[in-house]
Chains A and B, each alone.
Chain A
């Protein structure tokens, strides 16, 4: 039987006053891309720090490839590439020196890989770290995490600060790492990001794992707030919109319509056929709104956690 890439059992870190991480049971298979989704302060970084052996759990255990994250933390790090939630200060060191410094600590880094990664993200390593923008600092964090071709990538909100083009590049890099056999543990608070990359998603809120969802379930959780404006003097097809599959909470006023669309946009677009839509705005709600909606939907069966 294959060893799980990540295995936690009742993993807890209690900071008091209801803050922390409680009874986390996770099982991430090798070569899986696992998303870890939660709003700010939900416990994502605490989980990651427990996995990295940086903080000691108050209860439970965490293992990476069968190694205890606390007892065997040095051996664990050999297998892991890590993007922290926030890059530290390296003052007047150049990017090339930061890579050399941390690469020497790790050992066995292929300089060709570093070069390829830096070129791919157009990261000028000759510049001083203090001159880097937040995006460049994040690129450097990605280079440091991938430079030794790790078996497991633990990534704490890795796309924060990256522009859309570099986000695309990062997702491409992640896909390649996956094809090469790496396991990925990706923390994020952006639903579309994990939806795009991950096989399964763990959703955490207030320090407790709410659910582990596959992609189908994730699609059902996701929704958009849509605002439609029709040409003045024309009738909005309110009835057709109300009856479209996945369209909810329809509110009509004059030639404006607001609604929620869950899942595909196809039924709504079918309902709009033959009308003159002068403006259509779609908002993806933030994760907290999605959770509130999710809990509203599932309240009878899923208890709201503290």
Chain B
């Protein structure tokens, strides 16, 4: 058990380090942000709290409304620990599906079982290891709060910060156990999607019940409902022991059921398998023309993920447009928020709002798209696929160029379709958007994505194992710099480093020619450097 626990910890160490760092930075930034924008006097903070309550009422679909956002505890409980619940759920989903079915595909599970480890013991070791990691990350979040409060010259109860950390960690463990259970039921290939859909449904049952009364009777099903019963950071709030124990109970029950399911299923197969249709063996090569065309074959191979990215961004874009008026109108009625909006908004209020909120968020998603493609390249390099590709008479530079063209075309498809969705929905919502600027803003995603792609290609050639982590950290830091730079009054040169700054505000201000040129220079220089490094590097060594 101890050895299995240590191995599970070792396999998940980067996740623990990464999510711990993100949790710390996130709560720290929110806490410091509170002192920057909430003011110092009681009156200023109460006014700020009222503004935030109005603002938050538009986002109750995602996170619960704040309680006492005029206090640092109430604000951080809402802004940081509200989102950390989502973050911990995503981490639990990725970690648990990787620990069960992913490790089966890699042969790790088979190796452990062959060495005498019992299946229930393996499940217990994995859950214990994740619980350890979740506690570490949650404590990091609590530490971020305490450090942030100290930077504001105030003090905060360590016990309350610990209670908030406990609540977040228990929710993470609960989601982890549930994913372990759901992952037993499907094929390895579909386990993450299956568990993800169920977790999303459980999340939405709770969050949408705040808007739709019909869902209220069902929210007892959702772990997120129990998490929200605790609000230890809010003045007078506590860690709800009953709700926390319910979460623990769900976690234990799901773990026991997962262990039972694991015991009765074949390794590599779901608990229930449907008989496969008998087909005759074929010895023919695929005659589909897509395999004959460079770049097209790469896009075709990843068509499902491209479709998901395109549909996801289009749907999100349309939702942002739908919400725009209902969010902006009440906010404009608050005089205290005028200086806050003056930082971001010029000209057409709705275009500015969409440009800042939606296109800002979409940039983060496009960076995420680029990072997933770079992760694929590093996987191809390390698992031997690149070696096999290069055993054919093609140049290494061609591999780099084809990868980047495929990335550019993928980004173009996503940008074009999501841009069209935003344009159409804006028309229905009677929001006046310039078609030319919307097209420019959408098309600008292509060079923006390529900036991350070329940097990723270069990193993948030199330090493949660290590439995704570095690129992800760069994207996250860039995003925070642009989103929070004006609020924190960061130096201009710091904000200029951000890749997101290069994109600018094309929807409201038109294309930033300088930013576009800099992006193109980065792309061309990155492409040439990547091709040169690729020509000289060792493959498969």
Interface, chain A (partner B; CB < 8 A): 15, 46, 49, 52-56, 74-75, 77-78, 80, 82, 84, 86-90, 92-94, 96-97, 99-107, 111, 114-115, 118-119, 122-126, 130, 144
In the complex, the chain A residue whose C-beta lies closest to that of B382 is A88
Q: Within the complex, what minimum Cβ distance (angstroms) separates B250 from chain A?
A: 33
Residues in B with CB closer than 8 Å to A114 are 283, 285
Is B272 positioned at the interface, with any CB of A under 8 Å from its CB? no
Residues in B with CB closer than 8 Å to A119 are 283
Contact between A96 and B393, CB atoms less than 8 A apart: no
Q: A126 vs B286: C-alpha distance in the bound complex, in angstroms? A: 9
Is B541 positioned at the interface, with any CB of A under 8 Å from its CB? yes
Contact between B389 and A54, CB atoms less than 8 A apart: no
Contact between B282 and A82, CB atoms less than 8 A apart: no
Q: A49 vs B379: C-alpha distance in the bound complex, in angstroms? A: 19
Residues in A with CB closer than 8 Å to B213 are none
Q: Within the complex, what minimum Cβ distance (angstroms) separates A123 from chain B?
A: 7
Residues in A with CB closer than 8 Å to B288 are 97, 100
Given contacts A55-B540, A88-B380, A124-B281, contact A94 B387 (CB under 8 A): no
Interface, chain B (partner A; CB < 8 A): 105, 189, 279, 281-288, 291-292, 297, 301, 379-380, 383-385, 387-395, 536, 538-541
User: Which of A77, A124, A144 is in CB contact (< 8 Å) with B393?
Assistant: A77
Residues in A with CB closer than 8 Å to B282 are 96, 124-126
Contact between B283 and A78, CB atoms less than 8 A apart: no
Contact between A115 and B284, CB atoms less than 8 A apart: yes
Given contacts A96-B282, A97-B291, A101-B297, contact A89 B189 (CB under 8 A): no
Q: A77 vs B539: C-alpha distance in the bound complex, in angstroms? A: 15
Between A80, A94, A100, the greatest number of chain B beta carbons within 10 A of the residue's beta carbon is seen for: A100
Residues in A with CB closer than 8 Å to B385 are 88-90
Q: Could you show 5 A-B contacts with beta carbons less than 8 Å apart?
A: A52-B390, A55-B539, A74-B393, A74-B395, A104-B292
In the complex, the chain A residue whose C-beta lies closest to that of B287 is A100
In the complex, the chain A residue whose C-beta lies closest to that of B390 is A54
Residues in A with CB closer than 8 Å to B292 are 100, 104
Q: A215 vs B335: C-alpha distance in the bound complex, in angstroms? A: 94
User: Which of A15, A46, A106, A125 is in CB contact (< 8 Å) with B284?
Assistant: A125
Q: Within the complex, what minimum Cβ distance (angstroms) separates B100 from chain A?
A: 17
Between A46, A84, A101, the greatest number of chain B beta carbons within 10 A of the residue's beta carbon is seen for: A101
Q: A6 vs B356: C-alpha distance in the bound complex, in angstroms? A: 62
Contact between A105 and B394, CB atoms less than 8 A apart: yes
Contact between B393 and A100, CB atoms less than 8 A apart: no
Residues in B with CB closer than 8 Å to A55 are 538-541
Question: Which A-B residue pairs are the 9 nearest by beta carbons?
Answer: A88-B384, A118-B283, A88-B385, A126-B282, A100-B291, A124-B281, A55-B538, A82-B391, A77-B393
Residues in B with CB closer than 8 Å to A52 are 390-391
